[in-house]
């Protein structure tokens, strides 16, 4: 059976001791919690309490939900460089490194390089490749400092393009850039798609994932997929709409598949933003609405399209096989046999902390 891959997982640290901004860190945390509820099924077992969500997630909490409580085989852990709001960047490198070390067969590890100053960015890149042995690099398009937005586009000739070029020399071919969702009070323009054009054209052998594709600027994203076959739509966040607003989900992926192809769309849960299991079940059981196929020309979401979105594309980008060897077994295959409840490890730990 082909492997199922989740293109983004996180281990957030929303503990108040990690707040870096007096005014906006808690707002950020509560906003993320509101989306956890929006992008979860209307079922209390899948919705964490605020006290269970606004804490420092252990990476094993997330691994248990992804691999032990859900039929997911491989996942990409994305560290984040959100130091303007959280002291450790919100999703730390150290947690990802521990997951990669413990479960090398299951974890792809994306480092996080802030594009603020060239020398600093180069040093961080070198360290993440040599010390952490990352499989990809994550960029963010802006940060908030002293009451103003500082854009950090991935097409800057003085910082981003040299960093991407150096990463390629070090063997990194996969890049992900946060888009669509402005963070805190930052302005909207940096989260548009314009800055993806130059690196996609300049480096045709590298792959660029637009993270949160389909939440906003969907038409612009679809045009990018059409023009550049090395640009991919990463559905973190967007995937959650299938639970309560399925039409939003199907319209987004339908437009992107129409202008691009299902070979450029990559499914992601964003766990611990959402529990992966119900999101995955709805994709496996769902189909593109007939009126979108017949009236708008959206390609049907058939078994081949689902196989590409749910693992084939991400595994191909990283040169990984689409199956484990016969008889593969680990702690998570054994955990699945016990039929654990959702968020079992998080709730046990949160209860112990109460």
Pairing label, strands 231-234, 148-151: unpaired
What three-state secondary structure class fits 218?
helix
Q: Where are the domains of the chain?
A: 5-353
Question: What average pLDDT does this structure show over 7-25?
Answer: 96
- pLDDT score at 354: 58
CA dist 284 and 71 (Å) reads 12
CA dist 46 and 114 (Å) reads 33
- How sure is the predictor about 314, in pLDDT bands with cuts at 50, 70 and 90? very high
> Is the entire prediction scored with pTM above 0.95?
yes
CA dist 323 and 344 (Å) reads 27
Radius of gyration of the chain (CA): 19
- pLDDT score at 103: 98
The pLDDT tens digits for 209-264 are 999 999 999 999 999 999 999 999 999 999 999 999 999 999 999 999 999 999 99
Is residue 96 within 8 Å of residue 59, measured between CB atoms? yes
Please report how the helices 118-130 and 160-169 are oriented relative to each other, as an axis angle in degrees rounded to 10: 20
- pLDDT score at 353: 59
Summary mean pLDDT of the chain = 96
CA dist 53 and 13 (Å) reads 9
First CA to last CA across the chain, in angstroms?
A: 42
| CATH pick for 5-353 out of 3.40.50.300, 3.40.50.1700, 3.40.50.720, 3.20.20.140 | 3.20.20.140
Please report how the helices 246-259 and 218-227 are oriented relative to each other, as an axis angle in degrees rounded to 10: 30
Counting beta carbons within 10 angstroms of the beta carbon of residue 219, is it exposed (0 to 12), middle (13 to 18) or buried (19 or more)?
exposed
The pLDDT tens digits for 17-57 are 999 998 999 999 999 999 999 999 999 999 999 999 999 99
Question: What average pLDDT does this structure show over 112-139?
Answer: 98
CA dist 169 and 281 (Å) reads 39
The pLDDT tens digits for 138-195 are 999 999 998 999 999 999 999 999 999 999 999 999 999 999 999 989 999 999 999 9
For the chain, how many residues are written?
354
DSSP H helices in 24-150: 25-38, 50-53, 59-63, 93-102, 118-130
DSSP state of 310: I
């Amino acid at each position: 059976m082909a492997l199922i891959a989740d293109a983004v997982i996180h281990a957030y640290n929303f503990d108040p001791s990690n707040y870096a901004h007096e005014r906006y860190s808690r707002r950020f945390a509560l906003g993320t919690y509101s989306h956890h509820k929006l992008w979860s099924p209307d079922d209390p077992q899948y919705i964490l309490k605020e006290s269970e969500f606004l804490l420092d997630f252990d990476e094993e909490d997330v691994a248990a939900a992804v691999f032990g409580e859900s039929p997911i085989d491989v996942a990409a852990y994305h560290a984040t460089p959100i130091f303007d709001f959280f002291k450790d960047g919100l999703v730390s490198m150290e947690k990802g490194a521990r997951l990669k070390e413990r479960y090398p067969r299951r974890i792809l590890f994306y480092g996080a390089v802030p594009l603020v100053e060239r020398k600093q960015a180069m040093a961080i890149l070198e360290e993440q490749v040599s010390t952490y042995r990352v499989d990809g690099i994550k960029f963010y398009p802006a940060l908030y400092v002293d009451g103003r937005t500082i854009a950090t586009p991935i097409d800057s000739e003085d910082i981003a393009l040299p960093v991407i070029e150096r990463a390629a020399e070090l063997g990194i071919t996969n890049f992900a850039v946060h888009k669509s969702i402005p963070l805190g009070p930052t302005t909207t323009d940096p989260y548009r798609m314009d800055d993806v054009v130059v690196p996609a054209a300049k480096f045709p052998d590298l792959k660029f994932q637009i993270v949160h594709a389909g939440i906003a600027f969907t038409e612009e994203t679809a045009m990018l997929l059409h023009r550049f076959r090395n640009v991919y739509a990463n559905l973190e966040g967007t995937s959650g709409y299938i639970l309560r607003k399925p039409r939003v989900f199907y319209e987004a992926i339908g437009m992107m598949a129409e202008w691009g192809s299902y070979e450029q769309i990559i499914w992601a849960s964003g766990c611990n933003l959402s529990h992966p299991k119900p999101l995955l079940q709805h994709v496996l059981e769902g189909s593109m609405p007939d009126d979108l196929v017949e009236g708008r020309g959206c390609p049907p979401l058939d078994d081949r399209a689902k196989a590409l979105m749910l693992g084939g594309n991400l595994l191909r980008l990283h040169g990984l096989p689409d199956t484990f060897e016969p008889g593969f077994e680990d702690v998570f295959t054994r955990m699945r046999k016990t039929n654990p409840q959702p968020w079992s490890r998080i709730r046990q730990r949160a209860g112990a902390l109460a």
